[in-house]
Amino acid sequence: AQKITQTQPGMFVQEKEAVTLDCTYDTSDPSYGLFWYKQPSSGEMIFLIYQGSYDQQNATEGRYSLNFQKARKSANLVISASQLGDSAMYFCAMREGLGNYQLIWGAGTKLIIKP
Partner 1 sequence: SQTIHQWPATLVQPVGSPLSLECTVEGTSNPNLYWYRQAAGRGLQLLFYSVGIGQISSEVPQNLSASRPQDRQFILSSKKLLLSDSGFYLCAWTPRLAGVRNEQFFGPGTRLTVL
Q: Interface residues with partner 1 (CB under 8 A)? A: 31-33, 35, 42-47, 50, 52-53, 91, 95, 97-103, 105-108, 110
Measured distance CA(89)–CA(43) in Å, rounded: 9
Phi, psi of 37 (to 5 degrees): -125, 150
Nearer Cβ to partner 1, position 17 or 61?
61
Nearer Cβ to partner 1, position 16 or 97?
97
C-alpha closest to that of 7 among 63, 53, 75, 65: 75
Output the smallest distance, CB 39 to partner 1, in A: 8
Nearer Cβ to partner 1, position 108 or 113?
108
In total, the chain counts a number of residues equal to 115
Output the smallest distance, CB 45 to partner 1, in A: 4
- C-alpha triplet 108, 80, 107: angle, nearest 5°: 5
